[in-house]
Structure 1
Amino acid sequence: MLTAIHPKLPMRDKATTRDFYINKLGFHEFGTTDFDGYLMVEKDQVQIHFFEFKDLEPKANYGQVYIRTDDIDRLYNLYSTIGLIHPNGPLAIKPWGQREFALLDPDSNLLTFGQSI
């Protein structure tokens, strides 16, 4: 019955969010229509949507997404090389059987990447 999930996260500025996800994380914009106050990005089989929330206070944002990968080392090396890994989110083995790392986007949405061990 269920086939996919596309989380919606808040963003303060569409251009900043677009730049981060496309130019730093390697996503591309999904769709052919540029909707006012809305952005959709995609990488491989992962799609994330964003809605404009100009009054968002990043320190009070609890937006979070867990993204599974089949090549955690490559992804970690790519993102750490450009300084995107959160100081509290280095690659580590977790008690729940995952290798994970985390980063924050410009609006403090937490992106955690994980691979089963």
Structure 2
Amino acid sequence: MLTAVNPKLPMRDKNVTREFYISKLGFKEFGSADFDGYLMMEKDQIQIHFFEFKAIDPKNNYGQVYIRTDNIDDFYQSALENNTNIHPNGPLETKPWGQKEFSVLDPDNNLLTFGQSI
């Protein structure tokens, strides 16, 4: 039986990625081991894993994750208070498919979309 999914996204710099997810989105580092070229971040019940890909051109990175939440308004407000850059095409809004969503790009251009059913 499936119980969880942990997406793996590319990162160029582990320290930059770690800092973004902690300071902008409120994640914390998962686990106690510091693996070379690998990072695991966690918030609530969500984990995102990152693998080192120093040569990736962020303009050609199409990594994407859709993360569901049960309190989109508070999470959006927290992102704004942390000076998180909201994607120009992804401000908080209600979509025709019955989701309230917003999107951000991380330092490596991975698109994170957060959504809540309405």
- Interval of TM-score (by shorter of Structure 1 and Structure 2): over 0.9
Instruction: Give the structure 2 partner of residue 55 of structure 1.
Output: 55
Instruction: Give the structure 2 partner of residue 69 of structure 1.
Output: 69
User: Equivalent residue of 1:54, what SS?
Assistant: coil
- The alignment's C-alpha RMSD in Å is 0.8
Instruction: Give the structure 1 partner of residue 88 of structure 2.
Output: 87
Instruction: Give the structure 1 partner of residue 21 of structure 2.
Output: 21
Percent identity over the alignment is: 73
| Number of aligned residues | 117
Q: Name the TM-score, length of structure 2 as normaliser.
A: 0.96
**1:80 CA displacement:** 2.1
Instruction: Give the structure 1 partner of residue 110 of structure 2.
Output: 109
CA spacing shift, 1:89–1:111, aligned 2, 3 Å: same
**Structure 1, unpaired ranges of 5+:** none
User: Equivalent residue of 2:75, what SS?
Assistant: helix
Q: How far apart, CA to CA, are the structure 2 residues paired with 1:95 and 1:43?
A: 28
CA offsets 1:12-41 (integer angstroms, 9 cap, x no match): 000000000112211110011000000000
Q: Name the TM-score, length of structure 1 as normaliser.
A: 0.97
Q: 4+ residue stretches of structure 1 with deviation over 2 A?
A: none
More displaced 10-residue stretch of structure 1: 18-27 or 49-58:
18-27
User: Equivalent residue of 2:97, what SS?
Assistant: coil
**Structure 2, unpaired ranges of 5+:** none
Q: How far apart, CA to CA, are the structure 1 residues paired with 2:30 and 2:108?
A: 20
Q: How far apart, CA to CA, are the structure 2 residues paired with 1:69 and 1:83?
A: 17
**1:84 CA displacement:** 2.2
Instruction: Give the structure 1 partner of residue 40 of structure 2.
Output: 40
